[in-house]
Amino acid sequence: MNASSRIALVTGATRGIGLHTVRQLAEAGVHTLLAGRDQGRAVEAALALQADGLPVESIALDVTDADTIAAAVAQVEARHGRLDILVNNAGIGLDDRSLSPSQQTLDTWRKTFETNVFGLVAVTQAFLPLLRKSAAGRIVNVSSLLGSVALHTQPGSPIYDIKLPAYDVSKSAVNAWTVHLAYELRDTAIRVNTIHPGYVKTDMNAGEGELEIADGAKTSVALALAGDDAPNGSFRYFDEVLPW
């Protein structure tokens, strides 16, 4: 499917990795919907990309608000009739690093899962009918290496001593959801994958990452644009397949 004829939507896209994902998809010729819960910020970000000559439009979408999800689906259907690419990028991290796993509050768990898991599932379920209308639908779920249960149990792994339980477990849940949805859609033209963006310099880690933000978008974009040989149900970082 020609990139210039594709329609993509990226959640949580007003800044950071999401914004760079929008830019890179648009630079590839994809008409990209920049989704954000703050409509004003989404419009501002889209206008800046449009000023660079990129095919971007804004759309209001709060992944924790069923009404805005439904409105976004209706808007995409009315304007475009289908969706070819969905990048579930929106996510939060609320764990208190000074507390042990058992000390994190239930409120932290609930708020984290509301966005990172329930919001992601809700958006995917809502847009799936439009993705089924695509000749080659792609769903990319932004996870994290911190969602790898295997690496959390492996002494000496890059994440063995990093325990942010609500965030980590929410990303493990995203990985499991990806596997289940990929199985459901295995006989369709839709491919579903989850990615680790890398240790990126974002607001979430106070800029302590190793990669520039633009590099953190590259794995999502590669899978979003993957052709007929696209993987299905995989967990990836660039070309590397990661352990669940």
Q: Could you tell me the two tokens for 188?
A: 């369709």
Tell me which residues are annotated as active site. 167, 171
Cα 214 → chain centroid = 15
> β-strand 31-36 against 56-60: which pairing, if any?
parallel
Q: Superfamily assignment of 3-241 in CATH?
A: NAD(P)-binding Rossmann-like Domain (3.40.50.720)
Domain spans of the chain?
Answer: 3-241
- Position 191 scores a pLDDT of 98
- Position 203 scores a pLDDT of 64
Q: Residue 194: is it exposed, middle or buried by C-beta count within 10 angstroms (0-12/13-18/19+)?
A: buried
- Position 154 scores a pLDDT of 97
Q: For residue 182, count other CB atoms closer than 10 A to its CB.
A: 19
- Position 205 scores a pLDDT of 61
Q: What is the pTM of this model?
A: 0.95
Q: Low-confidence residues of the chain, pLDDT below 50?
A: none
- Position 135 scores a pLDDT of 96
- Position 37 scores a pLDDT of 96
- Position 164 scores a pLDDT of 97
